[in-house]
Amino acid sequence: MRIPFNKPFIPWFSFRYLIRGALSGTIAGNGRYTKKCHAFFEKRFGFAKVLMTTSCSDALEMTALLCRIEPGDEVIMPSFTFMSTANAFLLRGAKVVFADTLPDIPNIDPDEIEKLITPKTKAIVVVHYSGLACDMDRIMDIAGRYGIFVVEDAAHAIDSYHRGKPLGSIGHFGTFSFHETKNIISGEGGLLIVNDKAHEKRAEIIWEKGTNRAAFYRGEIDKYGWVDLGSSYLPADAVAAFLYTQLVNFDRIQSARKKVWWNYYELLKPLEDQGLIKLPVVPSFASVNGNIFFVTVKTGDTRDQLIAFLKSRGISAVFHYLPLHTSPYFTGKHDGRELPNTNRFSETILRLPFYNALKKSGIRYIASQIHAFFQGK
């Protein structure tokens, strides 16, 4: 059996809305399908204000502009994340301060955040790894006490919740990704959530190259001009049209993905019971959204041997993230603190194949091969 790591869900009718959009003659940004996507997210998750973006990386860049990050401002975030989380703030001259993760969940440790706060701290960025909610009660409490922004990098976390509240709707800003490896996809694409009313207008201006064009099109002003910093963060309506097919199938996609997640959990549980691997820990306030499935093993060597073993059996499993604080780009920029949990997760996490069409028989095969690996050891 050959099992790829990812198989993007692209039904043939994905092209229906694309063609419809093209025939209507408008395929630039903020068109008909962008508005339909916005309406979906606002209705489905109760987000106050959403803006589709060209990527989650760009949505994160918008949050750095919205927080008015200036050179020297400090931003606390996990080191165990994708580089876009850090790039967005470094591009504005911020000093990125990396915090360690919790020992049992690869999410940022609130105690570490609080230790790192200084008078220069302007924002905390949290990443809900694999869609598992960070401890938002504690993080919002810390941010409130020090008067700093919270940005949720919710790239993994669409349709996941913290005490029933959708992730992305809790901090000042939230960002999602529709890259082809995420739950719902448009190739490249993202979404910015603005939860604080005071920032809605400015978000729209930044989105439209620093102009008040969106307000102009709504007829709120009679001419538009350049009023702030900004960039071209809005995607072509063709991208939104592609995404819209995913949204029309949202429940179907999510139910398939959650099934894959729980099938893995159930079939790998015996290996955890034998002390051979660790399964994801789901805090009582968190939910499962079928984003990725990962296990942790005891050592980096075991992880690398297991990847090679699975590869020889036709199964494509992968690792991530290389810690940002030890990356080539960040060498000399980190303050030298050890981040032991980050390093351990980076060495021992294994991500298993994950896609909507992955059947239980496939997952059974993968689980049996992981079992065979440990029996051979």
Ligand X SMILES: *Cc1c(COP(=O)(O)O)cnc(C)c1O
CA 292 to chain centre: 11
Q: Which of 55, 63, 107, 246 binds ligand X (CB under 6 A)?
A: 55
What is the nearest approach in angstroms of ligand X to the Cβ of residue 254? Answer: 18
Residue 236 interacts with ligand X (CB under 6 A)?
A: no
What is the nearest approach in angstroms of ligand X to the Cβ of residue 320? Answer: 9
Residue 293 interacts with ligand X (CB under 6 A)?
A: no
Closest CA to 229 of 95, 96, 61: 61
What is the nearest approach in angstroms of ligand X to the Cβ of residue 193? Answer: 14
Pick the stretch among 2-10, 78-86, 104-112, 309-317 that binds ligand X (CB under 6 A).
78-86
The tokens for 165 are: 């509240």
Closest CA to 348 of 285, 317, 288, 302: 302
Phi-psi group of 332: left, alpha or beta (phi > 0 → left; psi -120 to 50 → alpha; rest → beta): left
What is the number of other CB atoms lying within 10 angstroms of the CB of residue 225?
10
Pick the stretch among 5-13, 54-62, 192-200, 244-252 that binds ligand X (CB under 6 A).
54-62
Closest CA to 154 of 175, 123, 171: 175
The alpha carbon torsion through 136, 142, 144, 147 (nearest 10 deg) reads -130
What is the nearest approach in angstroms of ligand X to the Cβ of residue 55? Answer: 3
The tokens for 93 are: 């001259």
Residue 85 interacts with ligand X (CB under 6 A)?
A: yes
Residue 246 interacts with ligand X (CB under 6 A)?
A: no
| Interaction mask 123-152, ligand X, x per CB under 6 A | ----x-------------------------
Subset of 57-76 contacting ligand X (CB under 6 A): 57
Catalogue the long-range contacts made by 214-222 (C-beta closer than 8 Å, 24 or more residues apart): 214/30, 217/30
DSSP-derived secondary structure for 204-222: HHHHBTTB-HHHHHTTSSS
Q: Which of 135, 152, 153, 237 binds ligand X (CB under 6 A)?
A: 153
Task: Give 328's DSSP letter.
Answer: T
What is the nearest approach in angstroms of ligand X to the Cβ of residue 81? Answer: 5
Q: Is 376 exposed, middle or buried (0-12, 13-18, 19+ CB in 10 A)?
A: exposed
Subset of 299-338 contacting ligand X (CB under 6 A): none
Subset of 165-224 contacting ligand X (CB under 6 A): 177, 179, 190
Q: Which of 14, 81, 263, 287 binds ligand X (CB under 6 A)?
A: 81
What is the nearest approach in angstroms of ligand X to the Cβ of residue 358? Answer: 19
Q: Which of 49, 95, 122, 156 binds ligand X (CB under 6 A)?
A: 156
Which residue ranges make up the site for ligand X (CB under 6 A)?
A: 55-57, 81-82, 84-85, 127, 153, 155-156, 177, 179, 190
